[in-house]
Structure 1
Amino acid sequence: MTHTKSFVFTGWHMMGVVCLFFGTIISVNFYMAYQAVHSWSGLVVENTYVASQQFNSKVAEAKALGASGVTGTLSVEKGVIRYVITGPDQKPVPIDTVTATFKRPVGDHQDFSVTLSDVGNGTYEAAREVATGHWIVDTSAMRNGQRILHHNKRIAVIGEVK
């Protein structure tokens, strides 16, 4: 009785297995690299070690400020940066100074800070053109030398600056 094999594993089959294996590894690496570049903008800090040591105190301050009920609303349009601050009762809150720091998500060559002026009724403004694109805006409101509001927001300025 003759017994014939129906399948013989050859060198071509082995080459296919190797190509599929490494092709999977390479494609997963490319996918992960793409996701890393397109999903996280990164943050620019002068010293990463110092920033990591300050993290817990910043979280505690953010929790305390969030519990106060004081909120702010930022808008950037037609060459005016506007920030409206209200208390938990939706009434204006008196503030001494409001500062907004605009940072690009990556790089710091276009970063700038501006002090907003009180225009009444809890509204603070500054006349300043903001270049189009993505920004991280860090806004701080101070009263009697203490910060009563700290707000970080990522915004996109769309349209031409004239």
Structure 2
Amino acid sequence: MTTSGARRGEFTGRHMAVIMVLFFGTIISVNVLMAYFAESTWSGLVVENSYVASQTFDADTAARRREAARGWQVETGYAGGLFRIDLRDAAGRPVRGAAIAVTIGHPVNANLDRTLTLKSLPGGGYGATTDLTHGRWEARLTVTADDLPPWHRAVRFSVP
């Protein structure tokens, strides 16, 4: 006659089921957490070749620090097909007479990138017409003004 049930210390199918649920539950939980962080945080930088980009990192960082020392601030806006920026110097005065080129695209996809030359607007600021769909966008500005080296800034914004 056989007895039903496991003897003490015996490995059963129930033990294996618990191990499998814990193992795969851990993997799925970590994947869901990482997917959440990937979607909800900064999307990072996009470069064609990270090794080549790393070779000029120190020089690029020094140039960005010199640009930041100017104290210029930029605000972007998009409404009614008009992309607009307001550029101000360290004292809060509008920067006038600048030549501004901007490349607008999605932060992690270059398929929809477009380059615009912004013109002075009558009410102040600079702007150009373009058609942007809803979503996250990045405007990479290059500003040349007052015999200074070019000033670069990447500004991320959302179109509702």
SS in 1 for 2:64: helix
- Which residue matches 1:70? 72
Structure 1: runs of 5+ lacking an equivalent: 1-6
RMSD between aligned alpha carbons? 2.5
Moved over 6 A (4+): none
Q: Distance in 2 between matches of 1:42 and 1:93?
A: 29
88 and 122 in structure 1: CA distance in 2 versus 1, 3 angstrom threshold: farther
Equivalent in 137, 146, 154 of residue 156 of structure 2: 154
How far apart are the structure 2 equivalents of 1:130 and 1:57? 33
Q: Deviations over 1:54-97 (max 9, x none)?
A: 32222222222112112111111111111111111111223431
Structure 2 residue 14 is matched with structure 1 residue 11? no
Q: Partner residue of 1:113? A: 115
Instruction: Extract unaligned runs of 5+ from structure 2.
Output: 1-6
Deviation at 1:20, TM superposition (A): 4.5
Identity %: 26
1:85 and 2:92 correspond:
no
**1:118-157 residue CA offsets vs partner (Å, 9 max, x unmatched):** 236751111222222111111121123721x322122111
Q: Secondary structure at the match of 1:108?
A: strand
Q: How many residues align?
A: 151
Q: Which TM-score applies when normalising by structure 2? A: 0.78
* Structure 1 length-normalised TM: 0.77
Measure the CA separation in 1 of the matches of 2:108 and 2:34. Answer: 17
